[in-house]
Amino acid sequence: MGLDDALIFTRVVECHSFTQAAQGLGMQKSTVSRRIALLEERLGVRLLNRTTRKLRLTEVGQAYYERCRQIMLDFAEAEQAVMQLQQEPSGLLRITAPIEFGQLFLGRVLGDFMRQYPQISAEVELTSRHVDPVEEGVDIVILVGQPQDSTLIARKLFETGRHLCASPAYLEAHGCPRTVAELAGHRAILLPQDSPRYWPLLDEHIACQRVLSCNNITFAREAALAGAGIAGLPIMISERAVQAGRLVELLPEARLPIGELYAVYPSRRFQAMKVKTFLDFLMSSLPVEEGRLLEPTAARLLISAP
In this predicted structure, what is the pLDDT of residue 210? 93
Model confidence at 252: pLDDT above 80: yes
In this predicted structure, what is the pLDDT of residue 114? 96
Separation between Cα atoms, residue 133 and residue 148, nearest integer Å: 13
Q: In terms of domains, do 167 and 100 share one? A: no
Alpha-carbon radius of gyration of the chain: 29
Separation between Cα atoms, residue 145 and residue 156, nearest integer Å: 9
Q: Which domain holds residue 264?
A: 91-159+259-304
Q: In terms of domains, do 114 and 54 share one? A: no
Model confidence at 303: pLDDT above 50: no
pLDDT in tens, 43-84: 888 988 887 677 889 889 899 888 888 888 888 777 776 666
pLDDT mean across residues, the chain: 86
Please say whether the beta carbons of 166 and 223 come within 8 A: no
pLDDT in tens, 133-151: 888 889 999 998 877 777 7
Q: In terms of domains, do 43 and 70 share one? A: yes
Q: What is the mean pLDDT of residues 112-134?
A: 92
- Domain edge (last residue) among 57, 84, 111: 84
Q: Tell me which of 48 and 296 has the higher pLDDT.
A: 48
Going by the DSSP 8-state scheme, the letter that residue 122 receives in this structure is: E
The enclosing domain of 37 has a CATH number of: 1.10.10.10
Q: In terms of domains, do 121 and 98 share one? A: yes
Q: In terms of domains, do 153 and 268 share one? A: yes
Q: In terms of domains, do 98 and 68 share one? A: no
Q: In terms of domains, do 42 and 188 share one? A: no
Please list the residues that pair with 140 across neighbouring strands.
95
- Domain edge (last residue) among 84, 102, 127: 84
- Domain edge (last residue) among 39, 62, 84: 84
Start-to-end C-alpha separation, the chain: 66
Q: Tell me which of 84 and 229 has the higher pLDDT.
A: 229
SS3 state of residue 246? coil
Separation between Cα atoms, residue 195 and residue 208, nearest integer Å: 9
Q: Tell me which of 214 and 296 has the higher pLDDT.
A: 214
Please say whether the beta carbons of 205 and 227 come within 8 A: no
Band of the pLDDT at 300, cuts 50, 70, 90?
very low
Please say whether the beta carbons of 233 and 224 come within 8 A: yes
Band of the pLDDT at 242, cuts 50, 70, 90?
very high
